[in-house]
Amino acid sequence: MDNNLVYALLAAIGLSFATGPLGSLIVWRRMAYFGDATSHAAILGVALSIGFGLPIFLGILGVALVMAFAVTNLNNRGHSIDSTLGVLAYFALSLGLVAISLTDQPGVELHDFLFGDVMAVTAQDLLIIWGGAISILAGLIWRWVPLLISTLNADLAVASGINPKREQLVLTLALAVVVAVSIKVVGALLIGAMLLIPAAAARGLSRTPEGMAALAIVIGVIASFGGLFSAVTWDTPAGPGIVVAAAILFFLGGLSKR
């Protein structure tokens, strides 16, 4: 195996360790839209990074943080926010695309930011991806039980002396970090898929929340192998290939339940 493929595999596997448990929480809390809004904002982060000469990772992290807190705040106000979230998501995406075109930088491959370019992952990228994934995993494990009870019922959490709003902060931070580290692997448009699909595939096959989160990691890892195998064998794009493989596992899981 050549180095690129090993790096690509390691990147996708690292990401799976974060997206499995985080995606499970997002599925339980019906927050799929939050993932989309935050990840679409990544493109704006790319534009700002290029414009101000910052590392791409930092620009995306900054914008994703702002977006993640904005959508969380909107949600806490308690109105129906579906349409507002949708507006924010597409606004951030389109503003990012417009801004990138204005930076007038030759050689900016928009395609790579939208769909990922995992075959071009460098050792430094790997450090960022694994560093981010391990931080997310550690944060979620640390707050796991309070997050579970807050997710199940906010009032029950309060009665047990847990502050659901504070627990949500961990989730918001984790969402921003996962967007920042996964842009290189699956791109801004497919981060939401990496959060949703492995968790959804694990749902029908699990009996406990922990089981579902762990199985979502396993499914993410298998999908990484599948997508990258397809990439080297048939020269397909790696990010979308990983998502396709995860979706196939989702359908297979659904069939096995029949």
Partner 1 sequence: MSLISAKGVSLTYGAQHVLRDVDFEIRAGEIVTVIGPNGSGKSTLMRALLGVKAPQSGEITRKPGLRIGYVPQRLAIETAMPLTVARFLSLPVKHTANAIKTMLERVGAQGVETRQLASVSGGQFQRVVLARALLGNPEILILDEPTQGLDQPGIAGFYGLIEDIRRDIGCAVLMVSHDLHVVMSASDRVICLNGHICCEGTPTVVSAAPEYHALFGHGTRGTMALYQHEHGEQCDHNHAHEGIENHGQ
N-terminal to C-terminal alpha carbon distance within the chain: 39
* Contact pick of 96, 132, 209, 220 for partner 1 (by CB under 8 A): 209
Q: Does residue 156 bind partner 1 (CB under 8 A)?
A: yes
Q: Would you count residue 152 as binding partner 1 (CB under 8 A)? A: yes
- Count the Cβ atoms, other than its own, within 10 Å of residue 225: 14
20 lies in the site for partner 1, by CB under 8 A: no
User: Which of 3-11, 84-92, 124-132, 159-167 is the region at the interface with partner 1 (rule: CB under 8 A)?
Assistant: 159-167
Residues 22-51 that bind partner 1 (CB under 8 A): 27-28, 30
Strand runs labelled E in 3-128: none
Those residues whose C-beta lies under 8 Å from the C-beta of residue 80, and which sit 6 or more positions away, are none
Q: Is 62 one of the binding residues for partner 1 (CB under 8 A)?
A: no
By residue count, the chain amounts to 258
Q: By CB under 8 A, is residue 207 in contact with partner 1?
A: yes
- Is residue 206 close enough to count as binding partner 1 by CB under 8 A? yes
Considering the complex, what minimum distance in angstroms separates the CB of residue 242 from partner 1? 23
Q: Which is nearer to partner 1, 9 or 157 (CB)?
A: 157
CA distances for 196 relative to 94, 155, 170, 254, angstroms: 23, 26, 18, 15
User: Applying CB under 8 A, does 196 fall inside the site for partner 1?
Assistant: no
Among residues 223, 196, 250, 181, the alpha carbon closest in space to that of 23 is found at 196
CB of 145 to partner 1, least distance (A): 5
Residue where the block lists tokens 């998502």: 243
Q: How far is the CB of 155 from partner 1 (least distance, A)?
A: 5
Using rule CB under 8 A, residue 218 touches partner 1: no
Rounded Cα distance between 149 and 71, Å, is 22
DSSP string, 216-238: HHHHHHHHHHHHHHHHHHH---H
Is 153 near partner 1 (CB under 8 A)?
A: yes
Out of 104, 109, 155, 235, name the contact with partner 1 by CB under 8 A. 155
3-state helix, strand, coil in the chain (%, to 5): 80, 0, 20
Q: In the bound complex, what is the minimum distance in angstroms from residue 82's beta carbon to partner 1?
A: 17
Q: Are 228 and 12 in contact (CB under 8 A)?
A: yes
Closest CB to partner 1 among residues 162, 173: 162
| Residues binding partner 1 (CB under 8 A) | 27-28, 30, 145-146, 148-149, 151-160, 162, 203, 206-209, 211-212
